[in-house]
């Protein structure tokens, strides 16, 4: 089965009001080229589930978002994501603010077909008070109450990986694949952009197959876009683009998102974009972050 498609095919398969999960973590391995394609589209009223970075900030700034399900939205070295911050402070979006681990449980519940997974995480905090949709349940086995973390079923997941073959075998060679396997499993459809499209026999050696974290049956579409995580990182190939994120953050203070989007996104192809940010070769030279 050949699952290779274009980013525009991916967007055409989405519709208004969908719940979309986005892989990666903060400024790390985000499917930013796919996000840019959504920003160029008419899609709206989306519910976004993410360990959020500029993906969430940009979608909020562009008015694509009805609701964000999040534990944080951050660019790491710029702790507060500027456009998410604006959206929250304008009261422009609905939220489900949960703990990082609760999000993992919600994705697992969706992946496993459970309505919820019980946890003590969130009890005793305002996570319960500000989110009336979260319920507690009594245990049949002890006297305690448990927070019933609901399944976060995704209409679609968007993920960026290092390598994929045309059948949807996806490899993440960076040190952490974050929760991307659970995003893929929690989604009805998972669209994966990749830095490199490879032949299937690439995965034959055990040391390559070991870095494939879900079965190809979980992958709906493969979208080859080298450099497609920029300005987020795709470790070990390239780090996140600190000057670009600084310019992005500065636009929130002066010019607004429209100025950023006019310069980099609207009316631009991904090739145009990469030229505007210094070219693919310079993306590939971006240094990895030191933690």
Partner 1 sequence: MSEFATDYSLAELLICANAAAYDNDGEILVTGIGVLPRIAASLAMKTSNTDIMMTDSEAWLLSEPNPVGNRPDDFIQQNETWMGFSRIFDNVWSGCRHITGGPTQMDRFGQSNISCLGGTYQQPKVQMLGARGFPGNSISHANSFLIPSHNTRVFVEGECDMVCTIGYNPARLPKGHQLSDIDLRMVLTNLCVMDFGGPDYQIRVVSLHPGVTIDEVIENTGFELCIPDIIPETVAPTEAQLAVIAQLDPQNLRSRQLKDDPPGVRS
- The contact set with partner 1 (CB under 8 A) reads 25, 70-74, 79-80, 84-85, 88-91, 97-102, 104, 119-127, 129-130, 136, 138, 142-145, 175-179, 182, 290-291
User: Nearest 5°: phi and psi at 164?
Assistant: -150, 155
Q: How far apart are CA 162 and CA 229, in angstroms?
A: 10
Complex with partner 1: residue 102 or 212, whichever CB lies closer: 102
Measured from the CB of residue 121, what is the shortest distance to partner 1 in angstroms?
Answer: 4
Between 193 and 233, CB nearer to partner 1? 233
Minimum distance, C-beta of residue 12 to partner 1, in the bound complex (Å): 32
Q: How is residue 68 written in tokens?
A: 């964000």
Cβ proximity to partner 1, 122 vs 227, nearer residue: 122
Q: Is 269 buried (19+), middle (13-18) or exposed (0-12) by CB count in 10 A?
A: exposed
Q: Which is nearer to partner 1, 84 or 257 (CB)?
A: 84
CB of 167 to partner 1, least distance (A): 25
The answer to whether 246 touches 78, Cβ cutoff 8 Å, is yes
C-alpha radius of gyration, the chain, whole number: 19
Neighbours of 86 (CB within 10 A): 16
Minimum distance, C-beta of residue 258 to partner 1, in the bound complex (Å): 21
- Smallest gap from residue 69 Cβ to partner 1 (A): 11
* Nearer to partner 1 among residue 251 and residue 274 (C-beta): 251
Q: Are 38 and 12 in contact (CB under 8 A)?
A: no
For the chain, the distance separating the N- and C-terminal CA atoms, rounded to the nearest angstrom, is: 40
């Amino acid at each position: 089965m050949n699952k290779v498609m274009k980013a525009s095919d991916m967007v055409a398969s989405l519709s208004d009001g969908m719940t979309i999960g986005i892989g990666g973590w903060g400024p790390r391995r985000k499917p930013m080229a796919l996000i840019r394609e959504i920003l160029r589209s008419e899609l709206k009223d989306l519910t976004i589930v993410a360990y959020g970075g500029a993906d969430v900030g940009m979608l909020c700034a562009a008015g694509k978002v009805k609701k964000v399900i999040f534990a944080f939205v951050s660019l790491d070295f710029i702790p507060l994501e500027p456009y998410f911050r604006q959206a929250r402070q304008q009261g422009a979006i609905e939220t489900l603010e949960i703990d990082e681990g609760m999000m993992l449980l919600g994705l697992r519940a969706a992946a496993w077909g459970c309505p919820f997974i019980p946890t003590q995480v969130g009890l005793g905090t305002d996570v319960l008070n500000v989110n009336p949709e979260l319920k507690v349940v009594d245990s049949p086995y002890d006297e305690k109450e448990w927070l019933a973390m609901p399944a976060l079923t995704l209409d679609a997941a968007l993920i960026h990986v290092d390598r994929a073959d045309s059948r949807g075998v996806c490899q993440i060679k960076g040190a952490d694949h974050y929760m991307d396997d659970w995003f893929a499993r929690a989604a009805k459809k998972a669209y994966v952009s990749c830095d490199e499209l490879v032949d299937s026999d690439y995965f034959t050696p055990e040391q390559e197959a070991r870095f494939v974290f879900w079965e190809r049956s979980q992958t709906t579409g493969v979208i080859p876009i080298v450099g497609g995580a920029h300005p987020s990182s795709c470790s070990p190939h390239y780090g996140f683009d600190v000057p670009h994120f600084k310019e992005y953050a500065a636009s929130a203070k002066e010019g607004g998102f429209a100025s950023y989007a006019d310069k980099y996104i609207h009316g631009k192809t991904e090739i145009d974009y990469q030229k505007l940010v210094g070219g693919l070769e310079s993306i590939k030279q971006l240094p990895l972050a030191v933690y």
